[in-house]
Amino acid sequence: MAPRNGKPQLTTSTAEVIEAPNDSDRERVFDLFRRWGYLQADLDPLGFLKPVAVPELEISGDLARQARSYYCGSIGVEFAHVADLERRRWIQERMESEPAAIDQDRALDLLTRAELFEHVLQQRYLGTKRFSLEGVTALIPLVDEILEGAGKRGAVELVMGMSHRGRLNVIVHVARRPAEEVFAGFEDVDPRSVLGSGDVKYHMGATGEYATRSGARIHIHLVSNPSHLEAVDPVTEGRTRAKQDRAGEDGKNKFLPLIVHGDAAFAGQGIWAETLNYADLRAYTVGGTVHVIANNLIGFTTVPGELQSSRFASDLAKRQAVPIFHVNGEDVDAVLRVAQLAIEYRYTFSSDVVIDLIGYRRHGHSEVDDPTITQPLLYKAIKDHPPLWQIYGEDLDVEDADARAAKIREELEAAQKNASGITKKPTLRDLPGYWNAYKGGRYRPEYAVHTGVSAEELEQVTERLTTYPADFHIHPKLKKLLEQRAEMGTGKRPVDFGMAEALAFGTLVKQGVRIRMSGQDSRRGTFNQRHSVLVDVKNEQEYIPLEHIADDQAPCEIYNSTLSEAGILGYEYGYSRDYPEALVLWEAQFGDFANVAQAVIDQFVSAGEDKWNLLSGVVLLLPHGYEGQGPEHSSARIERFLQLAARDNFQICQPSNAAQYFHLLRQQALRPWRKPLVVFTPKSMLRHPDASSPIEDFSRPDFLNVLPDHEISEARRILLSTGKIGHELRVERKKRKDSSTAIVFVEQLYPFPEAELSAEFERLGSTNEIVWVQEEPANMGALFYMLPRLRRIAGERSVLSVKRSASASPATGSAKAHEMEQKTLLTLAFSTTPTSSDH
Ligand X SMILES: Cc1ncc(C[n+]2csc(CCOP(=O)(O)OP(=O)(O)O)c2C)c(N)n1
SS3 288: coil
| 264 makes contact with ligand X (CB under 6 A) | yes
Q: How far apart are CA 538 and CA 763, in angstroms?
A: 59
Decide whether 263 or 367 has the Cβ nearer to Mg ion: 263
Of the candidate spans 295-303, 348-356, 599-607, 746-754, the one that interacts with Mg ion by CB under 5 A turns out to be: 295-303
Q: Which helix (H) or strand (E) holds 232?
A: helix 232-247
| 48 makes contact with ligand X (CB under 6 A) | no
Decide whether 227 or 643 has the Cβ nearer to ligand X: 227
The single residue among 44, 145, 230, 263 that binds Mg ion, judged by CB under 5 A, is: 263
Count Cβ atoms within 10 A of the Cβ of residue 733 and give its class: 0-12 exposed, 13-18 middle, 19 or more buried: buried
| 4 makes contact with ligand X (CB under 6 A) | no
The count of C-alpha atoms lying within 13 angstroms of the C-alpha of 112, restricted to the half-sphere facing its C-beta, is 24
Closest CA to 174 of 247, 257, 110, 88: 110
Q: How far apart are CA 804 and CA 780, in angstroms?
A: 9
State which amino acid sits at residue 580. Answer: P
Decide whether 365 or 577 has the Cβ nearer to Mg ion: 365
Q: How far apart are CA 334 and CA 72, in angstroms?
A: 12
Q: For the chain, how many helices (H) and strands (E)?
A: 29, 26
Decide whether 222 or 729 has the Cβ nearer to ligand X: 222
* 108 neighbors 385 (Cβ within 8 angstroms): no
CB atoms within 10 A of CB 61: 16
Q: How far apart are CA 500 and CA 691, in angstroms?
A: 11
Decide whether 294 or 636 has the Cβ nearer to Mg ion: 294
Q: What is the smallest separation between the CB atom of 400 and ligand X, expressed in angstroms?
A: 33
Q: In the range 349-408, which residues lie near ligand X by CB under 6 A?
A: 361, 365
Q: Which does 529 bind (CB under 5 to 8 A by kind): Mg ion, ligand X, none?
A: none
Q: How far apart are CA 258 and CA 469, in angstroms?
A: 43
Of the candidate spans 11-19, 212-220, 293-301, 749-757, the one that interacts with Mg ion by CB under 5 A turns out to be: 293-301
DSSP E strands: which ranges in 200-348?
Answer: 206-211, 217-222, 255-262, 290-295, 324-328
| 371 makes contact with Mg ion (CB under 5 A) | no
Q: In the range 312-331, which residues lie near ligand X by CB under 6 A?
A: none
Q: How far apart are CA 730 and CA 741, in angstroms?
A: 10
Interface pattern 157-196 for ligand X (x via CB under 6 A): --------x-------------------------------
Spell out the residues 6+ positions from residue 155 whose beta carbon is closer than 8 angstroms to its own: 147, 216, 218, 253, 254, 255, 256
Q: In the range 108-167, which residues lie near ligand X by CB under 6 A?
A: 165
The single residue among 48, 125, 300, 673 that binds ligand X, judged by CB under 6 A, is: 300
Of the candidate spans 83-91, 221-229, 344-352, 457-465, the one that interacts with ligand X by CB under 6 A turns out to be: 221-229
Q: Which does 227 bind (CB under 5 to 8 A by kind): Mg ion, ligand X, none?
A: ligand X
The single residue among 161, 288, 299, 371 that binds ligand X, judged by CB under 6 A, is: 299
State which amino acid sits at residue 318. Answer: K
Q: What is the smallest separation between the CB atom of 118 and Mg ion, expressed in angstroms?
A: 16
CB atoms within 10 A of CB 755: 14
Q: How far apart are CA 425 and CA 452, in angstroms?
A: 39
Q: Which does 229 bind (CB under 5 to 8 A by kind): Mg ion, ligand X, none?
A: ligand X
Q: Which does 300 bind (CB under 5 to 8 A by kind): ligand X, Mg ion, none?
A: ligand X
| 262 makes contact with ligand X (CB under 6 A) | yes
Q: What is the smallest separation between the CB atom of 258 and ligand X, expressed in angstroms?
A: 16
* 72 neighbors 32 (Cβ within 8 angstroms): no
The single residue among 225, 275, 296, 654 that binds ligand X, judged by CB under 6 A, is: 296
Q: Which does 165 bind (CB under 5 to 8 A by kind): Mg ion, ligand X, none?
A: ligand X
Helices (H), 565-704: 566-578, 598-600, 608-612, 638-644, 658-670
Q: Is the peptide bond before 777 cis (omega within 30 degrees of 0)?
A: no
| 7 makes contact with ligand X (CB under 6 A) | no
| 262 makes contact with Mg ion (CB under 5 A) | yes
Backbone φ and ψ of 787, nearest 5°:
-55, -55
| 821 makes contact with Mg ion (CB under 5 A) | no
The single residue among 229, 499, 582, 607 that binds ligand X, judged by CB under 6 A, is: 229
Q: What is the smallest separation between the CB atom of 284 and ligand X, expressed in angstroms?
A: 22
Decide whether 233 or 263 has the Cβ nearer to Mg ion: 263
Q: What is the smallest separation between the CB atom of 164 and Mg ion, expressed in angstroms?
A: 10
Spell out the residues 6+ positions from residue 543 whose beta carbon is closer than 8 angstroms to its own: 468, 469, 472, 533, 534, 536
The single residue among 236, 244, 296, 660 that binds Mg ion, judged by CB under 5 A, is: 296
Q: What is the smallest separation between the CB atom of 296 and Mg ion, expressed in angstroms?
A: 4
Of the candidate spans 256-264, 486-494, 554-562, 647-655, the one that interacts with ligand X by CB under 6 A turns out to be: 256-264
- Beta strand 157-162 pairing with 255-262: parallel
Q: Which helix (H) or strand (E) holds 818?
A: helix 815-830
Q: Which does 228 bind (CB under 5 to 8 A by kind): ligand X, Mg ion, none?
A: ligand X
Of the candidate spans 34-42, 106-114, 256-264, 696-704, the one that interacts with Mg ion by CB under 5 A turns out to be: 256-264
Of the candidate spans 27-35, 293-301, 480-488, 672-680, the one that interacts with ligand X by CB under 6 A turns out to be: 293-301
The single residue among 120, 184, 222, 265 that binds ligand X, judged by CB under 6 A, is: 265
* 554 neighbors 512 (Cβ within 8 angstroms): yes
Q: What is the smallest separation between the CB atom of 597 and ligand X, expressed in angstroms?
A: 14
Closest CA to 304 of 50, 617, 12, 626: 50
Q: Which does 201 bind (CB under 5 to 8 A by kind): Mg ion, ligand X, none?
A: none
Of the candidate spans 185-193, 297-305, 423-431, 469-477, the one that interacts with ligand X by CB under 6 A turns out to be: 297-305
DSSP class per residue in 39-82: GGS---TTS-SPPPP-GGG-EESHHHHHHHHHHSSSEEEE-TT-
Of the candidate spans 42-50, 179-187, 222-230, 771-779, the one that interacts with ligand X by CB under 6 A turns out to be: 222-230
The single residue among 298, 619, 645, 719 that binds ligand X, judged by CB under 6 A, is: 298
Decide whether 229 or 642 has the Cβ nearer to Mg ion: 229
Q: What is the smallest separation between the CB atom of 172 and Mg ion, expressed in angstroms?
A: 21
| 565 makes contact with ligand X (CB under 6 A) | no
State which amino acid sits at residue 339. Answer: A
* 72 neighbors 37 (Cβ within 8 angstroms): yes
Rounded to a whole number of angstroms, the CA Rg of the chain reads 31
Q: In the range 66-105, which residues lie near ligand X by CB under 6 A?
A: none
DSSP symbol at 464: H
Q: How far apart are CA 419 and CA 529, in angstroms?
A: 58
Q: How far apart are CA 104 and CA 95, in angstroms?
A: 20
Site residues for Mg ion per CB under 5 A: 262-264, 296, 298-299
Residues of the shown chain interacting with ligand X in the complex, contacts defined by CB under 6 A? 165, 227-229, 262-265, 294, 296, 298-300, 361, 365
